[in-house]
Structure 1
Amino acid sequence: MSQPTRFPWGDFPDVFIHASESLVKRHRAYASAKSGVQANKVNHTGANGYARLQRQAIFSGVASLGLNYVLVDDFIGQGGTLANLRGHILAQGGHVLGATALTGKDYSAKLAPTDLQTAALRRQHGHIEDWWRQRFGFGFNCLTASETRYLCRTSTSERIIERLEEVAG
């Protein structure tokens, strides 16, 4: 599996969500809005958190050095797709000003985890951060707030590894 590029969040602004999920899914153009431009198909629709973490979106294409970008997605769940697109652009010298999504979970609009959230994850599961970095290409400081919350709700680090291995098949 190719690894995505991610960066720490700093003071990244909250994602602007345009409409409720129920309204969007009833729209006649919803199916066509689900088509994307990423380099791999991750099948996140309806997937659980471990599947979303395991199947990372990878992006291709060229971002222009010094150009400003606003990220756009159809749905924000854990925010990993936006995090990886942001990383793809930043790695090429572009600037990401913010992000917007057609719909998503309100609690996922905040992509940047707080220092307290990251510290809590490291207290609970920090001994697997090197394993995580080798597997996914980035450390806990590059996770989204929603991904961080999801992992913190897992009782043991071994369970995180087991669940990710189950999804990997």
Structure 2
Amino acid sequence: MTVTIRPARLGDEADILRMVIALAVYEREPDAVKATEESLRATLFGANAQVFAHLAEIDGQIVGLALWFLTYSTWTGAPSLYLEDLYVADAARGTGTGRALLSTLAREAKARGCARIDWAVLDWNEKAKKFYSHIGAHHSVGWEPWRIEGEALERLAGRG
């Protein structure tokens, strides 16, 4: 069994959406996904795409996803790669698929001049935290994620 990592390409939208939904179910938010194949096509493969994905395959089956985009750190003076979603199907866990996806992203980050890779982990996901620690990642202490969305975002956008 060989794990192959490749960039996502036009036509992969259904598999990407399937894994996004599976991740949402795992993260106890099954109804939170609003993405569609069409929205994924537009954001991943449209003109001036700013979102990217790599897929993991085993025996021709897509079993993993790393969806990411670039941000910028004024402190480092360099871009950062932000990993939005990392997903490996249950059947492929323990095969090195997650590590292969992250190794590919590390090479992508280096090729793009990124100083780091950032991501968020749910506070209850001890398996993920253990895996990330094992590969040399660390928890960023002192920073809390914040978000504005929905009605609050609409209100804020409406004010000049």
* TM-score over 0.5 for the pair: no
* Greater gyration radius: 2
Instruction: Provide the TM-score with structure 2 as the length reference.
Output: 0.29
Bigger proportion of residues as helix: 1
Larger RCO (CA under 8 A, 6+ residues apart):
1
